[in-house]
A and B are shown apart, each in its own frame.
Chain A
Amino acid sequence: MDVKKYIASGILELYVAGELSEEQNLEVHQYALQYPEIKTEIEAIESAVLELTKSVSPGLSSKSFENVKKQLGHVIPLEPEASRPRAPFTSYIGWAASILFALGALWLYFENTALTSEIEVVTQEKQSLEEEIKRNRNAIVNSKELLNALRAQSVEVIALGGQTVAPDAYAKVYWNKGNQSLYVDAQGLPKPPTGYAYQLWSLTLNPLTPTSIGLLEKFAENEEQIFEFDNPNASEAFGITLEPEGGSESPTLEQLYTLGAVGP
């Protein structure tokens, strides 16, 4: 900063006169602390003003300060600078308007932020709704396919009845010999205990030979509890046993839940 130029600008004379804004006053004060030349200059200007104002003093009586001291208890409040022949009212209107404007702008900003986040939320909701619609459509398509598969003319329905371990259990097998597809409706089976799974067997009777068709995997997660398999065997009967997870080579007959023979 150019101290000489700053001094020459005449700002310090106005500082002493009390004619600067609050901001400018702070600035001059800071510079005065920072640059000794500025402080010295301010003091010199003040001395000149003091000399001048003193020269027009009417001369004070010797009791002047005593009179002041006597009245020190009395509180005379400072008046704001409303006493000069100007109209401060108009200047306040400007301030009031700018404060109102600032508040308005702030309000709009917050309103805008709120709306933007609302739009985000709504967009997300829309997306998840679209996904749900898609899922439902797929579910309908699956159900129709399933229904068509079960309704086909060549499908044989075999009812499997409950055995000793679970007399109330039941299941149904829908077997299409033509395309070798097979559906098991396992709704009548109890939920398998953890670590175990149901296994579907194809049986030929003379002699009794079991062949594994597959496991009823993820039993609990399958809402309809309809399982699809391929069955190329010449099955004469079907059985469902409870086996350790992963299945067994041959059925555990003590854990035979349901059994049913294919009709003639």
Chain B
Amino acid sequence: MDLETLIQNFQKKDTAAFQQLNKMYAENICGVINGILKNPERSEEVCQDVFIKIWNNAKSYNPSKGRIFTWILKIARNAAIDELRSKSHKNWKKNLYTDNFVGNFEGADHNDSKVDSIGIERLLKGLKQKCIQLIDLLYFKGFTQKEAAEQLDIPIGTVKTRNRSCISQLRENMKN
């Protein structure tokens, strides 16, 4: 079944299609949420809430406005940031701006953590810190180009091209 048909079935409230989407994207969505929350148990709960939300709001997805993964990604980011705000009150902004998704496994006990640290090391091999920061802001935290440019202190015109080259490097690493 192609993605279009799967989405159509999902929007008709077909649970099999929903389960398929969950299987396709749950790990990624939970990865994004955990990249923000740094709390595997809490992340899994928020992640489940996100999938309940997308089921209940299936009809509001419009394929001409973006990929279905992007749609779920946006919902997940908002849910994670809401969670961060409600749980860590004073420090949530500081956490959001200073940490990035990589901090998730850095310094953690590799044997204990379920995070696939070998996988991420392979993917990020050779990527400069400014690439990791930019990917973190755009994909994990949902900053706009303008916000990301301000945060990284670079011209807004640079965001698009730099991000392109960072993702290209990521794609190169995937092949190896």
Show the binding face of A for B, using Cβ within 8 Å.
Answer: 8-11, 13-20, 22, 25-26, 29, 42, 44-61, 64-65, 67-69, 71-72, 74-79, 81, 83-86
Q: Which residue of A lies closest to B93 (CB)?
A: A85
Assuming A53-B28, A53-B35, is B44 touching A58 (CB within 8 A)? Answer: yes
Assuming A19-B138, A54-B31, is B115 touching A59 (CB within 8 A)? Answer: yes
List B residues 6-50 near A (Cβ within 8 Å).
15, 19, 22-23, 25-32, 34-35, 40, 43-44, 47-49
Q: Which residue of A lies closest to B102 (CB)?
A: A56
Nearest chain B CB to A17's CB is how many angstroms away?
5
Q: Which residue of A lies closest to B41 (CB)?
A: A58
Q: How large is the interface on B (under 10, 10 to 19, 20 to 34, 35 or more residues)?
A: 35 or more
Pairwise interchain contact A78-B138, C-beta atoms closer than 8 A:
no
Pairwise interchain contact B163-A14, C-beta atoms closer than 8 A:
yes
In the complex, B89 has a CB within 8 A of chain A: no
Q: How far is the CA of A19 from the CA of B142 in the complex (A)?
A: 7
Pairwise interchain contact B139-A72, C-beta atoms closer than 8 A:
no
The 3 closest A-B pairs by CB, nearest first: A10-B164, A58-B40, A59-B114
A contact residues around B69 at 8 Å (CB): 16, 46, 49-50
Pairwise interchain contact B70-A17, C-beta atoms closer than 8 A:
yes
Instruction: Pick the residue among B44, B56, B65, B93 that contacts A61 (CB under 8 A).
Output: B44
B contact residues around A15 at 8 Å (CB): 66-67, 70
Pairwise interchain contact B82-A79, C-beta atoms closer than 8 A:
yes
Instruction: Pick the residue among B19, B70, B116, B170 that contacts A48 (CB under 8 A).
Output: B170
Assuming A71-B48, A75-B56, A81-B74, is B104 touching A56 (CB within 8 A)? Answer: yes
A contact residues around B174 at 8 Å (CB): 47-48, 51
Dominant SS at the B interface? helix
Pairwise interchain contact A72-B52, C-beta atoms closer than 8 A:
yes
Pairwise interchain contact A55-B145, C-beta atoms closer than 8 A:
no
Q: Which residue of A lies closest to B116 (CB)?
A: A55
Nearest chain A CB to B131's CB is how many angstroms away?
11
Pairwise interchain contact B53-A76, C-beta atoms closer than 8 A:
yes
In the complex, B64 has a CB within 8 A of chain A: yes
Nearest chain B CB to A41's CB is how many angstroms away?
10
Question: What are 15 contact pairs spanning A and B, CB under 8 A?
Answer: A14-B163, A15-B67, A15-B70, A16-B69, A17-B142, A46-B69, A50-B69, A56-B102, A57-B28, A57-B115, A58-B43, A67-B48, A68-B48, A76-B56, A83-B85
Q: Which residue of B lies closest to A74 (CB)?
A: B52
B contact residues around A59 at 8 Å (CB): 27, 40, 114-116
B contact residues around A57 at 8 Å (CB): 27-28, 30-31, 34, 114-116
Dominant SS at the A interface? helix
Q: How far is the CA of A59 from the CA of B120 in the complex (A)?
A: 14
Nearest chain B CB to A144's CB is how many angstroms away?
84
Q: What sequence of 0s and 1s flags, for each residue 66-91 of chain B, a beta carbon within 8 Å of any chain A beta carbon? A: 11011101110011011001000000
Pairwise interchain contact A58-B114, C-beta atoms closer than 8 A:
yes
B contact residues around A72 at 8 Å (CB): 15, 52, 55-56
Q: How far is the CA of A48 from the CA of B127 in the complex (A)?
A: 14
Q: How far is the CA of A13 from the CA of B131 in the complex (A)?
A: 13
Assuming A53-B29, A53-B32, is B51 touching A68 (CB within 8 A)? Answer: yes
Q: How far is the CA of A10 from the CA of B101 in the complex (A)?
A: 22
**Known interface pairs A17-B70, A65-B51; 17 further A-B residue pairs with C-beta atoms within 8 A, sorted by A's residue number:** A26-B65, A46-B69, A52-B120, A53-B29, A54-B119, A55-B123, A56-B104, A57-B28, A58-B31, A64-B47, A64-B48, A65-B22, A65-B26, A68-B51, A68-B55, A74-B52, A77-B57
Nearest chain B CB to A154's CB is how many angstroms away?
101
Nearest chain A CB to B152's CB is how many angstroms away?
14
Nearest chain B CB to A33's CB is how many angstroms away?
9
